Structure 1
Amino acid sequence: MPKSKRDKKITLSKTVKKGLERKQNLRDALVKAVEKYDNIYVFSVQNMRNSKLKDVRNDWKDSRLFFGKNKVMAYALGKSKEDEIQKNIHLVSSALRGQCGLLFTNRSKEDVLMWFDVYEDEDFAKSGFVSTEDVELKQGPLHEFPHSIEPQLRQLGLQTNLNKGIVTLFKDHTVCKKGDVLTPEQARILKLLKKKMAKFKILLYMYYNKKEGTFENLLNREKTPADIYDMDQDNDKDEDSNEEEDDEDDGSD
């Protein structure tokens, strides 16, 4: 009886070896980062976008970012006082929960907090995102859309047709309401409308200082450097107005 084509033996040795090698490389990179940098920040990401995380890496080339693989990172740093590679660094491991990462840097704490408190980047919302506002389309011509996209709009649920080559909506359409959990269709329409709702932002929530062996919760700050920055900006605007009256893993960089 001939063997079935489905009856194939697949060796996973290369895949396993590659996976172990990547984990070992990540562990080695983390150990070197601990030796090189004095400060470690544990962070989470709102509305994760790989392209935008890459932009952050480019702005922080003098530092090192690791994202994902919490178990590997925790193992490299040490999960307890007995196996930690630096004093109290096991507390960093205990803070690795969910989708998070580590920033290793020698920049001052004030500069780091200022940069990340201020930094955010708008992007298009994806399905599953909670809408931040009402978006409605009124009956009539939709000049923002080229005629070639009209069939796609109908597939997305809009009641449209072409009137003299212009995409026309013949009935008011509610794309979404504030608080709605966006469907793939709603997210696609918002993107076609060039309507950005999501904000990519990195939130620093734990800080570790290697020299002192201290670990700090950053979520309980009463006033952030960004708040102070905004106050200074407002003061500058007030001064300007008075004068007028007078005269932006795998552990790779």
Structure 2
Amino acid sequence: MPRSKRDKKVSLTKTDRKGLAWKQRIVDDIRFCVGKYPNIFVFQVQNMRNSLLKDLRQEWKKNSRFIFGKNRVMQIGLGRTKSEEVEPELYKLSKRLTGQVGLLFTDKSKEEVLEWAENYWAVEYARSGFVATETVTLPAGPLEDFAHSMEPHLRSLGLPTKLEKGIVTLYSDYTVCEEGKVLTPEQARILKLVGKPMAKFRLTMKCSWTKSEGFQLHVEDDVNDEEQADSAMEEEAEAEAMDDNDDDDDEEDDE
């Protein structure tokens, strides 16, 4: 029997690509914020967690705005060269938009933001690839926090467990991780199951720009602020950054 033309496989996991309109909105938002807020910071994220960044947005929304998106698009918003920059010296901020970074626009003073960033951190569970900060060992004995139905899952993660009278029991000491070694996915899951957070979510202010003082570097780097890119290369980079068919998955979850 011939196959029906209506018999087509539909992937339920397919998502729409972020197109030109989405990227243009980020550029417009950045330029609007440059005019609205007197102070701008480039911050670097350690142990990124979207939920914690969302909490910060809520906490600061009265007088600030966080924008976290594709670096090349944010660079276009600020201006990548002296000739493109929206305000004097903003191109120096643009040059520092590399890696896992974002922009903070705020009415708060530079001193207030730097002091807050120095003292702010949040403990989170480590993920695979994280370098363990301590050695964690589980002693032999009952694991009463786990239901008996969890025993097969714990065993699949490598824990030496068994059921004794319906109680999950570790029948020998088990070293989950060692200080200084990279965590595997299984080790990261075990640490989360036993309630052992190890990572710290932090924001480091790399540099800032204020309308009154201009650009200031807070973390030393090897960026050459006087270096000017070839105009043809700049045009090519801009076209690539704004390309509607770009597959980049960088997320801008600004609300």
2:177 maps to 1:176: yes
CA deviations 1:103-139 (Å, max 9, x no partner) are 0111111211121111111111111111111111122
2:115 maps to 1:130: no
C-alpha distance in structure 1 between counterparts of 2:114 and 2:84, whole Å:
30
For 1:82, what is the secondary structure of its paired residue? coil
For 1:84, what is the secondary structure of its paired residue? coil
C-alpha distance in structure 2 between counterparts of 1:4 and 1:251, whole Å:
39
What are the ranges of 5 or more consecutive residues in structure 2 without an aligned counterpart?
10-15, 221-250
* Matching residue's letter, 1:151: P
Percent of aligned positions that are identical = 51
Contact 1:38/1:209 (8 A) holds in 2: yes
User: How far apart are 1:59 and its partner, in Å?
Assistant: 1.1
Aligned residues: 217
CA deviations 1:210-234 (Å, max 9, x no partner) are 233x2111126xxxxxxxxxxxxxx
C-alpha distance in structure 2 between counterparts of 1:144 and 1:76, whole Å:
51
Contact 1:87/1:210 (8 A) holds in 2: no
User: How far apart are 1:251 and its partner, in Å?
Assistant: 6.0
* Matching residue's letter, 2:130: F
Instruction: Judge which range, 23-32 or 140-149, deviates more.
Output: 140-149
User: How far apart are 1:205 and its partner, in Å?
Assistant: 1.1
Contact 1:139/1:171 (8 A) holds in 2: yes
Following superposition of structure 1 onto structure 2, how do residues 58-207 of structure 1 map, counting pairs within 5 Å?
A: 58-61=58-61, 62-207=63-208
Q: Structure 1 segments of 4 or more deviating over 3 A?
A: 1-8
Give the match for residue 252 of structure 1.
Answer: 254
* Matching residue's letter, 1:47: N
C-alpha distance in structure 2 between counterparts of 1:208 and 1:192, whole Å:
43
Give the match for residue 27 of structure 2.
Answer: 27
C-alpha distance in structure 1 between counterparts of 2:252 and 2:159, whole Å:
41
Distance 1:98 1:6, change over 3 A: farther
Distance 1:158 1:251, change over 3 A: closer
Query: Of Structure 1 and Structure 2, which has the larger fraction of its residues in helix?
Result: 1
What are the ranges of 5 or more consecutive residues in structure 1 without an aligned counterpart?
9-14, 221-248
Give the match for residue 54 of structure 2.
Answer: 54
CA deviations 1:85-118 (Å, max 9, x no partner) are 1011111111111110010111111211121111
C-alpha distance in structure 2 between counterparts of 1:92 and 1:184, whole Å:
36
Structure ID, larger Rg: 1
Contact 1:68/1:99 (8 A) holds in 2: no
For 1:148, what is the secondary structure of its paired residue? helix
C-alpha distance in structure 2 between counterparts of 1:4 and 1:181, whole Å:
51
Give the match for residue 237 of structure 2.
Answer: none
CA deviations 1:187-229 (Å, max 9, x no partner) are 11101100000111111110111233x2111126xxxxxxxxx
CA deviations 1:138-176 (Å, max 9, x no partner) are 222222322221111110111111111111111221111
* Matching residue's letter, 2:91: H
Contact 1:70/1:96 (8 A) holds in 2: yes
User: How far apart are 1:68 and its partner, in Å?
Assistant: 2.4
Distance 1:23 1:6, change over 3 A: farther
For 2:19, what is the secondary structure of its paired residue? helix
Q: TM-score, normalised by structure 2?
A: 0.79
Q: TM-score, normalised by structure 1?
A: 0.80
CA deviations 1:225-247 (Å, max 9, x no partner) are xxxxxxxxxxxxxxxxxxxxxxx
Contact 1:65/1:251 (8 A) holds in 2: no
For 2:86, what is the secondary structure of its paired residue? coil
Distance 1:159 1:217, change over 3 A: same
C-alpha distance in structure 2 between counterparts of 1:32 and 1:44, whole Å:
22
Q: Over aligned residue pairs, what C-alpha RMSD do you find?
A: 2.2
